[in-house]
Amino acid sequence: QVQLVESGGGLVQAGDSLRLSCAVSGRIFGSYGLGWFRQAPGKERERVAAIIWNSEYTKYSDSVKGRFTISRDNAKKMLYLDMDSLKPEDTAVYYCAAASLVTPRTVWDRRLYYYWGQGTQVTVSS
């Protein structure tokens, strides 16, 4: 069974930085991709960033490009999201998710993300 547990959320001010972490346990077969998603109140869950198994390809949503950085440490089974220049509109519950057998062409396909964490709240005050 695969489990993902996020941590690092909190209340920050606009312009601050924050690092989210996601611990992955269990066995994921094949070349698995990892991603960060977020959901604000009253809005649909949206993609934030994704990374393939060997970190050679990453993708970001336009709203976070240049401010957020996704990374992973396969030896530690950890996923990270470094968030800089935070804005109030970044306020949301952030989820990490895992997908098996993804490539650079498919890592952005949310339908492939089968395993999800419980989420961590990020609140950015103005």
Q: What pLDDT digit, counting tens, does each position of 56-85 carry?
A: 999 999 999 999 999 999 989 999 999 999
More confident residue, 27 or 13: 13
Q: Does pLDDT of 123 surpass 80? A: yes
Q: Does pLDDT of 29 surpass 70? A: no
Q: What does each C-alpha distance from 74 to 25, 54, 87, 93, 111 come to in angstroms?
A: 11, 8, 30, 24, 23
Contact 59/68 with Cβ under 8 angstroms?
no
Integer Rg of the chain from CA: 14
